[in-house]
Amino acid sequence: MTFGKLIERIIQLIPVLLGVSLIVFIMTLLTPGDPVQIMLGDQLVTDDLERSLRRDMGLDLPPHERFFTFLANAAQGDFGTSFYHRQPVWDVIASRLPATIELSLMALLVALVTSIPLGVLAAVKKDSIYDRLATVGSLFGVSMPGFWFGILLLLLFSVHLRWLPVSGNASFASQVDPITHLLLVDALLRGRFDAFWDALKHIILPAITLGLPMTAILMRVTRASMLDVLNRDYITFAEAKGLGKFQILAKHALKNALIPTVTVAAIETGSLLGGNMVVETVFGWPGLGRLVVESIFTRNFPLIQAAVLLYAVTYVLLNFIADIIYTILNPRVKL
Amino acid sequence: MRDEILQIDELKTCFDTRDGLVTAVDGVTLAVERGTTLGVVGESGSGKSVTFSSVMGLVKKPGFIAEGSIRFNGRELVGLDRKDLQRLRGKDIAMTMQDALTALNPAYTVSEQIVEVLLAHDDSLTGSRRAKRKQALDQALDMMRLVGIPSAETRLHDYPHQFSGGMRQRIMIAIALACRPKLLIADEPTTALDVTIQAQVLELIADIQRKLQMSVVLITHDLGVVAEYCDNVVVMYAGQVIEQGPTRDVINRPQHPYTQGLLGSIPRLSDLSRKIDPIRGTVPELKNLPTICRFMERCKRAHSSCRSRIAMQSVEADWLVRCISPGEEGKA
Amino acid sequence: MTAVDSMETAAMARSETLFGRNLRNFASNKVSVLFLFITFGFVLTAIAAPLIAPHDPNEADLFRRLLPPAWMSGGSWEFPLGCDALGRDILSRIIYGSRVSIFIGLAVILVATTIGVLAGLAAGYLKGWVDVVISRLVDILLGFPYLIFAIALIAMTGPGLQNIILALAYKEWVIPCRVVRGETLATAGAEYVEAAHALGASKSNIMLREILPNIMSPVLVVSTVRMAHVIILEASLSFLGIGVQPPTASWGSMVADGRSFMLNEWWLATFPGLAILLLVLSINVVSQGLRDAFDPKFHD
């Protein structure tokens, strides 16, 4: 892919991002009640003070000007103040973001390392009992309600077997001075293997729960694309060349078969973002998803808006990255 | 005593499909003499490709070799261990496929695809893995020059899709010939190509055959190609050989009505007044076939005694035909 | 006039035979048919909930608080799956909870499919600025992760059945729309469409009478698989406490309520979760069967 094409693609993102922002902005207009009243709660203030507050918040402007103000502020990371936390919204979000990023990456990792070998095996042993089990398993995977699956895992591994902790992302004893704010990475950087092990024990169940639907989907995709690839002429030709069975599978088949898998994985990473709220609630994970859920009950609308915008922008960028990955992996596709 | 590099006897290859057992190759017997070119002609579904997939050991499930023998250089291939067969493939017997675009792996450069076959088979490579790879790369470059890729050294690390159709076909031939095989099976080498490029590719194969002292099987449905490049010809129909012999004889005086039909459906510049005479009907389905002449339903000469088992009979030495009333058109 | 009529009958006869053959294909798959019956079983349960449920789902009685299922010691066959923290019969609540899941699932898919099919037909057949506007809107809505979009909308508009359905349908219509647009683009060049056009049929007539019947198969596949998804989304919203509000029984909120008792009273959260899994699984199997039956590419 040429640099020019890349720029072209990036420019194509702009209308989508603008549209996404517009919809988030329209959501703010739907908010019931008067923002100033909500902010003030039961406090009695003079009309003058209320008017000046209204002016400060830009509420006296016509909607289109308010949209531009909203955009300009959002671009600077200014989403207003979270009165509940008595902090700027962005600071609250930023403090919760690393935990969510770490969990999402771990879920992606779990999904990739389980789905690809399982999918390849199902394709290679097509119609065997193993293949059937894999198909049934993936059906269960996409049909499983995440919150219930998480609870079952907790019940088994944390409550009954007592192997794993019930909630949170780290024990108090194994705190590490932050560098990246990703606990697993920080623990390794600081050489604290006890903390690493502790963080791993905390993250594994939420990561499996979050990654389950993705695992199921990726397994199906890998199986299907592997079956397709194994029927291609270049596999027969590789056999005719007298290459070994493993070399044919691992080199000739897998590289082609993984193109759809990786593309779908990149797209589905966005859907991990959606699953965050449920999984973080079940496992008491101190991330952005749980913050959003809490904010609904505290009617913390500025925070919800900022989070929705952040999720949406991330989602759009992930899809963009999926596109780029697809082009890089597949030398035949020209943008 | 004749010197055969490949001898196939009564080969029967079946496919166990949902609709029943399909016998794609039914009792094929043929031989390739060392240093010569054998043309194998037939419509699609005649079993010509499956016959040579059987030779390569590449018949995939649900297909299997039910009976018969395949001897290569005196060695029996049917029932050979998978590892031994693998050692033979690409080294002593090589194959090219119909469409190089689909036969070359799109995800790897052409040099990689030549190098890997050398690394798999070439015992003359020595030293560390890196050293071997370096030598293989040099050989790959030689091969690309041999098959006539212009400015080969700059194109070595290109991907297959960056080459034209004719160049891709040459690269596939380079891969097949990289280990100097004794026998090359070229499956429809020209079907996917433009007419002008077809001749170039066939000339290339013939040229290399002379240089490398190789034997060639040319699978095609084009009798014109056979007439031009093959010493002997085998005509297949519905899984059986129906006529075989020296090309010159078979083309000039075809004995089987099907061979005559094949020749009749080629328009000839020399004889434009002659009406093109296509063969009526279609190839029969290959399951539950009765043991009668399979061409009967489409044959102008069919009569009641064709409803029995038809064996090959000799026309002249080396020239066999599967018909009870063989003979040239109009004379039978 | 007669010519147009006969064209239409011809088109319908053709689509009917294709659709009919597809359905026959589906019926020959025993597993799919079995799960279709299970799905219907859930629907019947939802409709007939007042007749089937052994108890009032909201009737609390603290004397039978956390009563275990019938087969455990202390259980009673009067309350086969036990009782929850307020002493309400779990089985009855599951039976009534199916109403929420199925009603919301059906309503969302109905609304979304209707909008999506019309928008997709318009975009794919009329093309031009209509297509541009619809496709841009689709792109933008696809930019939101599903659950967060629905949660934000509900947070703004407040919970309640109608708001939940709208919050989910706002984004859901995009999916059938994309499918229908693609299929319409592929179908619009077909001979019978051009023939109808040549005979002077109106655009809306062509879209609804000629194209629509021929793209019903993919629409049906998409709506079933999406319905399974919407049911999980609704359950997730209820689990988070922003779905259907108490005391209405819904499977998601039953699991949420049972969470804190899972140490000893595991049945509170287990059975409603099982109900979600079984319903969603059944719909997914049916959908898979439909896809296999409709799409020749999936045959060997």
Average pLDDT, chain C: 84
Q: Do A331 and B107 touch (CB under 8 A)?
A: yes
pLDDT, one tens digit per residue, over B142-181 is 989 888 888 888 999 999 989 988 899 889 999 998 898 9
Q: Do C147 and A274 touch (CB under 8 A)?
A: yes
Task: Give the domain-ending residue among A50, A75, A100.
Answer: A75
Point out the residue among A234, A236, A242 whose CB comes nearest to the CB of B120: A242
Q: Do C143 and A142 touch (CB under 8 A)?
A: no
**What value does the mean pLDDT take over residues C162-183?**
90
Task: Give the domain-ending residue among A17, A44, A75.
Answer: A75
Average pLDDT, chain B: 86
Residue A24 structural domain: 3-75
d(CA A166, CA A168): 7
Measured in whole angstroms, the distance separating CA C207 from the mean position of its chain's CA atoms is 25
Residues A60 and A191 in one domain: no
Exposure on the CB side of residue A84, measured as CA atoms within 13 A: 17
Residue C82 lies in a domain: yes
pLDDT, one tens digit per residue, over A50-102 is 777 777 766 777 878 888 888 888 888 888 777 777 788 888 999 999 999 99
Q: Is the pLDDT of residue C129 over 70?
A: yes
Q: Is the pLDDT of residue A175 over 90?
A: no
Chain B residues within an 8 Å CB radius of A241:
89-90, 94, 116-117, 120, 175
C21's tokens: 């053959």
Edge-to-edge strand list for the sheet holding B313-316 = B93-96, B183-187, B215-220, B37-41, B232-237, B240-246, B319-321, B313-316
Chain C residues within an 8 Å CB radius of A16:
139-140, 143
Q: Encode B158-180: b = buried (16+ Cβ within 10 Å), e = exposed.
A: bbbeebeebbbbbbbbbbbbbbb
- pLDDT: which is higher, A20 or A209: A209
What is residue B332's predicted lDDT score, i.e. its pLDDT?
42
- Shortest Cα distance, chain C CAs vs residue A315, angstroms: 6
Q: If you measure CA to CA, which chain A residue comes closest to C288?
A: A139
User: Which amino acid is located at C60 in the chain?
Assistant: A
Point out the residue among A232, A239, A330 whose CB comes nearest to the CB of B102: A232
**What value does the mean pLDDT take over residues A325-333?**
69
Chain B residues within an 8 Å CB radius of A125:
none
Residue in A207, A114, A118 with CA at minimum distance from that of residue A157:
A207
Residue C1 lies in a domain: no
Residue C219 lies in a domain: yes
Mutate to test the interface with A, among C140, C174, C265, C274 (most CBs of A within 10 A): C140
Tokens 């050489």 label which residue?
A191
Residues A285 and A157 in one domain: yes
The total domain count for chain A is 2
Residue A334 lies in a domain: no
Point out the residue among A30, A147, A315 whose CB comes nearest to the CB of C255: A147
Q: If you measure CA to CA, which chain A residue comes closest to B172?
A: A237
Residues A116 and A26 in one domain: no
Point out the residue among B94, B106, B117 whose CB comes nearest to the CB of A332: B106
**What value does the mean pLDDT take over residues A14-28?**
86
Residue A83 lies in a domain: no
Residues A67 and A127 in one domain: no
Q: Where residue C234 sits, what CATH number does that domain have?
A: 1.10.3720.10
Judged by average pLDDT, the poorest of A162-176, A305-319, B92-106, B240-254 is A162-176
Is A301 part of the contact surface with chain C (CB cutoff 8 Å)? yes
Residue A36 lies in a domain: yes
Q: Is the pLDDT of residue C3 over 50?
A: no
Q: Do A312 and C143 touch (CB under 8 A)?
A: yes
Q: Is the pLDDT of residue A253 over 70?
A: yes
Q: Where residue A207 sits, what CATH number does that domain have?
A: 1.10.3720.10
Pairing outcome for strands B240-246 and B232-237: antiparallel
The total domain count for chain C is 1
Residue A327's pLDDT band, with cuts at 50, 70 and 90, is confident
Residues A22 and A139 in one domain: no
A47-A49-A52-A57 Cα dihedral, nearest 10 degrees: -100
Residue C167 structural domain: 40-298
B138's tokens: 């040099």
Tokens 């031939």 label which residue?
B173
Which residues face B241 on adjacent strands? B236
Is C273 part of the contact surface with chain A (CB cutoff 8 Å)? yes
Q: Do A145 and C147 touch (CB under 8 A)?
A: no
* Residue C240 CB partners (closer than 8 Å, separation 6+): A277, A278, A281, A293, A296, C151, C252, C256
Is C136 part of the contact surface with chain A (CB cutoff 8 Å)? yes
> Of all helices (H) and strands (E), which one includes residue C94?
helix C90-121
d(CA A212, CA B48): 48
Residue in C152, C134, C175, C171 with CA at minimum distance from that of residue A25:
C152
Interface of A with C in 175-204 (CB under 8 A): none
Residues A66 and A97 in one domain: no
Residues A64 and A173 in one domain: no
Residue A85 lies in a domain: no
Q: Do B106 and A331 touch (CB under 8 A)?
A: yes
Chain A residues within an 8 Å CB radius of B89:
239-242
Q: If you measure CA to CA, which chain B residue comes closest to A331?
A: B107
Residue A299 lies in a domain: yes
Point out the residue among A233, A238, A244 whose CB comes nearest to the CB of B99: A233
User: Which residues of A make CB contacts under 8 Å with B?
Assistant: 232-234, 236-244, 247, 251-252, 255-256, 330-332
d(CA A178, CA A182): 8
pLDDT, one tens digit per residue, over C83-120 is 888 888 999 999 999 999 999 999 999 999 999 999 99
The answer to whether residues B26 and B240 touch, using CB atoms and an 8 Å cutoff, is yes
What is residue A1's predicted lDDT score, i.e. its pLDDT?
58
Is A32 part of the contact surface with chain C (CB cutoff 8 Å)? yes
Residues A195 and A105 in one domain: yes
Chain B residues within an 8 Å CB radius of A251:
108, 116
Residue C83 lies in a domain: yes
Residues A143 and A290 in one domain: yes
Q: Would you list the DSSP string of B3-55?
A: -EEEEEEEEEEEEEETTEEEEEEEEEEEEEETT-EEEEE--TTSSHHHHHHHH
- Shortest Cα distance, chain A CAs vs residue C247, angstroms: 18
Is C259 part of the contact surface with chain A (CB cutoff 8 Å)? yes
Residue C259 lies in a domain: yes
Residues A126 and A204 in one domain: yes
Give the neighbours of chain C: at least 3 Cβ pairs within 8 Å: A
**What value does the mean pLDDT take over residues A237-250?**
91
Which residues face A182 on adjacent strands? none
Point out the residue among A242, A252, A330 whose CB comes nearest to the CB of B90: A242
Residue C35 lies in a domain: no
Residue A257 lies in a domain: yes
Residue A80 lies in a domain: no
Q: Do A331 and B56 touch (CB under 8 A)?
A: no
Is C153 part of the contact surface with chain A (CB cutoff 8 Å)? yes
What is residue C192's predicted lDDT score, i.e. its pLDDT?
77
Residues A100 and A226 in one domain: yes
Chain C residues within an 8 Å CB radius of A307:
148
Mutate to test the interface with A, among B86, B88, B105 (most CBs of A within 10 A): B105
Q: Do A244 and B175 touch (CB under 8 A)?
A: no
d(CA C22, CA C282): 19
Residues A156 and A246 in one domain: yes
What is residue A40's predicted lDDT score, i.e. its pLDDT?
67
Is A166 part of the contact surface with chain C (CB cutoff 8 Å)? no
Measured in whole angstroms, the distance separating CA C285 from the mean position of its chain's CA atoms is 13
Q: What is the pLDDT along chain B (332 residues), one digit of tens a residue?
A: 578 899 999 999 999 887 788 888 988 999 999 999 999 998 888 889 999 999 998 888 888 999 999 999 989 999 888 889 999 998 999 999 988 888 999 889 999 999 999 999 988 888 888 999 999 999 999 989 888 888 888 999 999 989 988 899 889 999 998 898 999 999 988 877 777 888 888 888 898 898 888 999 999 988 888 998 999 999 998 889 999 999 999 988 888 888 888 887 665 555 555 555 667 676 677 776 767 788 877 887 777 888 888 888 888 888 888 888 777 665 44
Chain B residues within an 8 Å CB radius of A123:
none
